[in-house]
Amino acid sequence: MSNLPVPEHSEPLPPRTLLDVTLESKKCGVIGGGIAGTLITAVVQEAALSHGVDVQTHWAFDSKENTASTRAGAYHAPFNTSDPRMGEWATKSWSMLDLYERMGVGHLINEAKTLYLSNLTPMPLPQGLPGAVVEMNPADLGFGANYVNAALVERGRVFSPPALMPALHSSLAQNQNILVDSQRHFRDIEDIVAWARKRDLQAVFVAAGASSGTLLGHERIVGSLGVLVHVPMAPELGLHNDIVVMDEDHDETLSYTIPAPALGTIGVGGTVHRTFDLPYSPGAEYTDDFKYFNEWVAYEAQQEAKLIRARVGARFPLMREALASSKLKVTHGLRPHAAEVILRVLPPQATGGVFVAEIGGLGGSGITIAPALALEALGLPCPIEAEEAVAEAAGE
């Protein structure tokens, strides 16, 4: 007989995760064709490959063009957020560049430093920045009239989303285990459950962007208007061609320039806090109300673009003349804004036993944190089974 001590209580079993369910059932569903849904689809396939299992992913969304993800700037930094987890997710995502490289889109992601400008002392900087911060004199860089402090973050990334997003979609479309339905609009949670049941899916990841609340029946997410004025790169725009320039004073009236090397343009933003409750998804049925909503958002975006041109032109002298041109393209999107990022499995009673996860509220930092969030979504515990495992270990 062994003399080893017998533990008084056996350790509770770790709960099964959505990834466990996916690998066992060899199937899952993903809803959303923005950066969150796209990367969840990618990491599911990577996990399947590493476990030597073929997993069929049903990937459905009602638009891949008119998403916040294709309309973003975008650079790598969490900003305009009060979610304390952002820094950790930004750091983790920074280390996941190889995910993009394996998908064959690494060339669309470029290294770019970031220059933060401010009149505040000490100068506020976002969490989880990827490089050393070097204090500089704004006057030496031509910003002396508007700012007293400057800090250069020596490492960073920019993404050129209008080129990156289609490339990510094309990459996944080549995978025969991914069944894409690019014109599927879901009305509500019942619709999602019926879709899942028909395909025998036990796990579904919902990453529906700004309209996630409209779809899942809550009001925790609003659409926060983001507007970009696109300026062609040119030698006279100096450092704006190569580095991100960000006004750190005015979180509520963000002013920035973000180069998009894959497009040869500089995205000039940003935006006052203009939000829309319960927004329509981009592929919703085209009713009069939806048409009115789209026109309203487009009108607000045009107003916003005028303010951006005036504000950025006044604060960033090298951009002034270029922003006066009447020929500049303007795009806008609704960022999924919530008090904090939503990462949860819906109560199974509400979903007839199908495990439906919501990944939402990525706000103004979705491109920055999506790789890490995709991994966390896979690791979400299945609620009922977690309770069963604890009860079983306690001998109930």
Ligand X SMILES: Cc1cc2nc3c(=O)[nH]c(=O)nc-3n(C[C@H](O)[C@H](O)[C@H](O)COP(=O)(O)OP(=O)(O)OC[C@H]3O[C@@H](n4cnc5c(N)ncnc54)[C@H](O)[C@@H]3O)c2cc1C
Residues near ligand X (CB under 6 A) = 31-37, 61-64, 67-69, 71-75, 184-186, 207-211, 215, 226-228, 258, 269, 281-283, 333, 335-336, 362-368
Nearer Cβ to ligand X (68/380): 68
Nearer Cβ to ligand X (143/186): 186
**Minimum separation from the CB atom of position 2 to ligand X (A):** 53
Q: What is the C-alpha separation between 66 and 62, in angstroms, rounded?
A: 9
Angstrom distances, CA of residue 300 to CA of 67, 305, 323, 330, 332? 17, 9, 19, 12, 10
Cα angle value 164/67/57 (rounded, 5°): 75
**Minimum separation from the CB atom of position 4 to ligand X (A):** 50
* Exposure letters 337-349 (e unless 16+ CB within 10 A, then b): bbeebbbebbeee
Nearer Cβ to ligand X (75/147): 75
Nearer Cβ to ligand X (58/71): 71
**Minimum separation from the CB atom of position 370 to ligand X (A):** 7
Give the relative orientation of helices 86-94 and 366-378 as an angle to the nearest 10 degrees: 90
Q: What is the C-alpha separation between 191 and 108, in angstroms, rounded?
A: 36
Nearer Cβ to ligand X (152/362): 362
Judged by DSSP in three states, 209 sits in helix
Nearer Cβ to ligand X (254/345): 254
Rg (CA), the chain: 23
**Minimum separation from the CB atom of position 201 to ligand X (A):** 15
Question: According to DSSP H, which parts of 248-360 are helical?
Answer: 288-315, 320-323
**Minimum separation from the CB atom of position 206 to ligand X (A):** 8
Judged by DSSP in three states, 201 sits in coil
Nearer Cβ to ligand X (283/313): 283
Angstrom distances, CA of residue 379 to CA of 17, 40, 286, 307? 5, 11, 37, 43
**Minimum separation from the CB atom of position 281 to ligand X (A):** 3
Nearer Cβ to ligand X (62/83): 62
* Exposure letters 354-386 (e unless 16+ CB within 10 A, then b): bbbbbbbbbbbbbbbbbbbbbbbbbebbbbbbb
Q: What is the C-alpha separation between 259 and 252, in angstroms, rounded?
A: 21
**Minimum separation from the CB atom of position 244 to ligand X (A):** 8
- Tokens representing 330 are 């303007």
**Minimum separation from the CB atom of position 102 to ligand X (A):** 20
